[in-house]
A and B are shown apart, each in its own frame.
Chain A
Amino acid sequence: MSKQKIVVVGNGMVGHHFIDQLAKDFSDDYQIVTFAEESRLAYDRVMLTSYYTGNSADDLALTTPDAYDAQGIEYHINEKITSLDRHNKTVTSASGKTITYDKLVLATGSFPFVPPVPGKDQPNIHVYRTLEDLDQIADSAKTSKIGVVIGGGLLGLEAANALKQLGLETHVVEFAPRLMAVQLDDGGGALLRSKISELGVTVHTEKNTKEIVAGETCRYRMNFADGSFLETDTIVFSAGIRPQDHLARTGDLTLGERGGISIDDHCLTNDHDIYAIGECALWDNKIFGLIAPGYAMAKAAVSHLTERRAFKGKEVDFKGADMSTKLKLLGVEVASIGDAHGNTPDAQVYSFIDSSAGIYKKIVVSSDSKFLLGAVLVGDSSDYGQWLQLVLNKIELSQAPECLLLPEMDGEASAGGGIDALPPSAQICSCLDVSKQDICDAVDGGAQDIATLKSCTGAGTGCGGCVPLLTQVLNAQLCQLGVSVDNSLCRHFSHSRQELFDIIRVKEIRNFDALLSECGTGDGCEICKPAAANMFASLWNDHVLATELVGLQDTNDNFHANMQKDGTYSIVPRIPGGEITPDHLILIGEIAKEYNLYTKITGGQRIDLFGAQLHELPIIWKKMVDAGLETGHAYGKSLRTVKSCVGTNWCRFGVQDSTSMAILIEKRYRGVRSPHKVKMAVSGCARECAEAQSKDFGIIATDKGWNLYVAGNGGMRPRHADLFASDIDDATLLRYIDIIFMFYVRTADRLQRTSVWMENLEGGLDYLKDVVINDKLKINDQLLDQMQHLIDTYQCEWKTTINDPQRLKRFNHFINSKQLDDNVIFTDVRGQISPANKVSNAVEIAHAVN
């Protein structure tokens, strides 16, 4: 039997998902051909806006031509299908290609609706749907100062965010009296509006655009029906979407009154050789403008087409979909669940407003108060996952409904009853339709971390919104299995670093012997000793060479310098914020000359002198200290550098004094020991010359204050920092850093940078905000006190050491001779020294000798 030929028109997210599901197990049975009107194969439209913040078209791609080739899928890009002949079972493309099909799948998506406003067809007026649209908007932005988005719905606000990121003064013009009219109620809309206005986006509601004409101060003027007007250079229409059903019309398929291709539960149209899926399809007179229902339709169609052979014979008909959504718009969390408007007869409504924190929550419950029917969340959507499950699975509330709204008290479970209350059938990931049972099965089968779970169940790989819930299911299931994740520090301590830290703190343990007798065995090793020394330092801040501590230090801390491959050391004085006087610069140069040190500008805006021998360290450091320079802690797991830019002092763009702030911060946190090194940077404006978003703490000036970013990383696995707070003043900035820094010190693993810490932090950024901004754990005062203690007890380690003859005894190569190490040999490279011992041969030599 020859293969059935399946033609898929439209290679968007849903068309691709259909192909992917079909090709996975049935590529032998079907010949698949797909036509894409766009210039590339499917990409992640949900993440479209991230194209402006670092994701390239390749990052967003859901597949590649190579992958399709490998699966034997025939594809035609830049090839729009323009007509359908159902009688002969053919489709024809704009370029005249005609192709027959056995089964046709229409996945043509939708197109942005542009109201017939006179003047809409001019340059620099756009829609927001494809990567090409985004390229064009970025082009317009280059010659624009002001941008307007017409439409204050979900996509409109996302487009506004994009304009803002492109540096435009941004306005949103909405016809309705509130933003996101479909999802939110008046209270939620009002709060969202005030939050968005605070971020500098001007919102105009109840404005009906009458025409777009030439402007006086800008390129265009938009005249509104009420006589007012707004001048702008760029316009983006986001006035809703319409199903792309043109092709279906040419084939005379049944359509809805207001468009959309009518389908049944199998996603079949009235022609039983033609399916329609995704945003072009109309089911029960409804269009579903979200990705999860689209994927569900694709599955239903695959199941029907393969006569239920797919998905282990599981019935996967399309039975409608929940339109709950959770989003972050311009940094504001917004969610709506189920019957958000309280349309169910006799439903009761409760709401909670915390205007200082900018949080609005509303719940809709059944008349008997037993079931949650819907909800609206603005400003804090951390309840979304739990509440959605309560609605979808009709779980009876375990407490009075109002308990859901009250901020969680320590230790008490909320009325939701936790993850255990969810039935096995509960859908955890709606995008990929993965149930709690599926996840538990995968965990039982050995997928015991999030990354593995993602790759074997697909959960969490769509919008990503379910990952916190996924994590909870994972942990609960691991608990069930009796798998206690072994996070013992090493063979001497069966505790995690975090647990040890708490023991040391609460029992005020100050030395290693005491720690061992409290909770360890044996005599310690190269893992637990430095870790303990580091924790003692983070808590008590005694000098690292204090008698009880010296034996615990890694060699770099032990000699206050970084050991190089030949046993010599580097010398890095602190140069706060990278600012240095000519005198200090000259002194460093003179020292380098006198001691014949290799000199290099580091990647951290300071100067490193290499090749100093042990006995030279105190002499050199004495000169440094006498001249007012301090240790740079390049050797410590502690604050490294605070990189700065020149900011308002010199730069024409600067909006704050970034250099002074960097110096202030570097001096504040110098010497603070932490689980791993910590780097910071301060940029004077959004151009970000100090690269703050790649640092553990990044600070970027705004015209109202500072934006604080956290948990960035360069290095082995780069990570962009997360925006933690916007437009905060100096005092708030320092307060937040104090708390986050100490919380990291207290809870991170050994040698865990803030980036990895953040990724492992349950609840992630939202949780951290809750801890820091709302003092969720009620420990902020403690953390602030601890940080203050470290700041107050700071000492330049070198200064203390050079004044202590007993400690200086160790700074000699030999304890019983003034001779030097004859194995330290240098050659000359570009006029400076370079180590010349035979490192590369060393191992071979050692093997040969044995």
Chain B
Amino acid sequence: MNTVAEQQTWLDICALNDIPPNTGVCAQFNGQQVAIFHLSSSKLGNVSLVKAVSNLDPFSDANVLSRGLISENDDIYYVASPLLKQLFNLDTGLCATDENVSIATYHVRVSDGLVQLRRS
């Protein structure tokens, strides 16, 4: 059960069904652009995982990361920028190809089939 307090903390973004498995979407959140990815595969036991990072590709200064490909290496999941293919760790926001660069990450979860971002 979602308590009232919880409802204030977590903001509904969209239905999980709105994000086809293994793709991303971009959410408008507190005036920021957040890329949310829906991971699902037999390796992950066919459960749905969601991850959220900033949508801004720092290398190109374009809001495009939600449209990148999801890439796995040694059980870590990354998004590859659709522009110049740099990889960003979906849990830490660190860029795997340039250690000086990182992007923001966000708390995200699925609740009752809804994808939610945490406000604080």
Contact = CB atoms under 8 A, between A and B. Distances in A.
Given A814-B33, A815-B13, 6 more contacts: A491-B73, A526-B85, A567-B62, A815-B18, A842-B59, A845-B61
B44 A823 contact: no
A555 B82 contact: yes
Given A513-B41, A567-B64, A525 B82 contact: no
Contacts of B72: 492, 522-525
Interface stretch (B2-10, B23-31, B105-113): B23-31
Contacts of B85: 526
Interface in A536-561: 547, 550-556, 558-559
A12 interface: no
Contacts of B69: 525-526, 529-530, 551-555
A823 B61 contact: yes
A517 interface: yes
A816 B14 CA distance: 6
Contacts of A513: 41-42
Interface string B10-53: 00011000111111011110000100100001111000000000
Residue of B18, B25, B28, B62 with most partner-chain A CB within 10 A: B62
B20 A550 contact: yes
Interface in B53-96: 56, 58-64, 67-75, 77, 80, 82-83, 85, 87
A817 interface: yes
Contact of A846 (B19, B71, B77, B101): B101
A817 B43 CA distance: 33
Contacts of B101: 843, 846-847, 850
A529 B77 CA distance: 14
A553 B70 CA distance: 10
Interface residues of A, number: 46
Interface of B: 13-14, 18-23, 25-28, 33, 36, 41-44, 56, 58-64, 67-75, 77, 80, 82-83, 85, 87, 100-102
A823 B59 contact: no
A841 B59 CA distance: 9
Nearest to B25: A815
Given A513-B41, A555-B82, A843-B59, A813 B71 contact: no
Nearest to A846: B58
A547 B19 CA distance: 11
B42 A843 contact: no
Specify which of B60, B77, B87, B102 lies most central, judged by the most chain A CB atoms within 10 Å of its CB: B60
A704 interface: no
15 contacts: A491-B73, A526-B87, A547-B21, A552-B22, A555-B67, A565-B62, A813-B63, A814-B28, A815-B14, A821-B63, A823-B61, A838-B61, A839-B60, A847-B101, A850-B101
Interface of A: 491-492, 513, 516-517, 522-526, 529-530, 547, 550-556, 558-559, 563, 565-567, 809-810, 813-817, 819, 821, 823, 837-839, 841-843, 845-847, 850
Contacts of A550: 20, 22-23
Contact of B59 (A517, A555, A563, A846): A846
A551 B60 contact: no
A810 B23 contact: yes
B54 to A, nearest CB: 11
Contact of B27 (A523, A547, A567, A816): A816
Contact of A565 (B13, B74, B83): B83
B26 to A, nearest CB: 6
Contacts of B36: 815
A517 B43 CA distance: 9
A563 B62 CA distance: 11
Nearest to A492: B72
A649 B59 CA distance: 50
B61 A547 contact: no
B68 to A, nearest CB: 7
Contacts of A559: 67
A635 to B, nearest CB: 11
Contacts of B23: 550-551, 558, 810
A837 B63 CA distance: 11
A517 B42 contact: yes
B88 to A, nearest CB: 11
A849 B74 CA distance: 29
A579 B118 CA distance: 55
Contact of B68 (A491, A555, A837, A847): A555
A551 B25 CA distance: 12
A526 B64 contact: no
A810 B82 contact: no
A484 to B, nearest CB: 23
A472 B99 CA distance: 44
A553 B21 CA distance: 12
B41 to A, nearest CB: 5
